[in-house]
Copies of this chain bind each other. A is one copy, B any other.
Amino acid sequence: MEVTNKKSLSEMAYDKIKEMILHLEIKPGERIPEERITEIVKCSRTPVREALRKLNEEGLVVSYPGRYSEVAKYSKEDIKKIGELRLAQDLLACQLAIRHGSNSELSVLKKISEKCRISAEKGNIFERIYYDSMFHLEITKIGKNQLLLENQTKLYMRIHLIQISKYTNIEDSITQISKHKDIIDALYSRDDKKARSLVCHHLKDFYDIDEEIINMYLD
């Protein structure tokens, strides 16, 4: 089977808007008139509309039908709820990776984690967030549940937006990333309880997840 590289204008518009949002070139709360994108991508409104609808489904854009679309802006409450979902999905991903992942598949995680660390040290915040998402999504990929991967991909788009909107200093970044290594070790040794515990504590504080929710996965 051949894979065609040719992208439709819809896809190009989608990629461009997504990139602009994730690089804060359009800020949360800012409106996105269709016309504005047609000027950038140099296409008509039809593909732009399609792209905006997709980004709306994925949660990066909020559309008010017949009125306007704007970049999503998450409240503290929203972030907590995203965290609850992320925790549930990340834990399932770990369990599946332990069950279905070979050591050679797991070894990819080391490389991604290393890239993440280097980006953090360089102070490149966008790159660091990008590789951090990639790290977690790779775990999901190894678990081989395509639907979970799709959900995680969408969820991590929101997480990306949250992370670039929050100020994070380099020390915190590096502390966080150092935990990646522990997770990798737990996966290699197929220690699911350890992996779960690590993931729970990795997320608990950032998302302010309730103790009771955490306990649900640890008892």
Complex partner residue of A95 from B59, B151, B212, CB under 8 angstroms: B212
A70 interfacial contact with B, CB 8 Å: no
> Which of chain B's residues has its CB closest to A94's CB?
B216
A213 interfacial contact with B, CB 8 Å: yes
> Which of chain B's residues has its CB closest to A219's CB?
B219
Q: Are B65 and A8 in contact (CB under 8 A)?
A: yes
Q: How far is the CB of A161 from chain B (nearest CB, A)?
A: 13
Q: Are A8 and B145 in contact (CB under 8 A)?
A: no
A53 interfacial contact with B, CB 8 Å: yes
- List the B side residues contacting A49 at CB < 8 Å: 50
> Which of chain B's residues has its CB closest to A145's CB?
B81
A35 interfacial contact with B, CB 8 Å: no
Q: How far is the CB of A49 from chain B (nearest CB, A)?
A: 8
Contact with B along A67-104 (1 / 0, CB 8 A): 00000000000100110110011011001100100000
Contact with B along A184-219 (1 / 0, CB 8 A): 000000001100100000000000001011001101
Q: How far is the CB of A101 from chain B (nearest CB, A)?
A: 14
Complex formed: what's the CA distance from A148 to B115 in Å? 32
Residue of A11, A54, A91, A92 contacting most chain B CB atoms (<10 Å): A92
Complex formed: what's the CA distance from A50 to B155 in Å? 22
> Which of chain B's residues has its CB closest to A144's CB?
B81
- List the B side residues contacting A168 at CB < 8 Å: none
Complex partner residue of A57 from B54, B78, B92, CB under 8 angstroms: B54
The residues of A with any CB-CB pair to B shorter than 8 Å are 8, 11, 46, 49-50, 53-54, 57-59, 65-66, 78, 81-82, 84-85, 88-89, 91-92, 95-96, 99, 145-148, 151, 192-193, 196, 210, 212-213, 216-217, 219
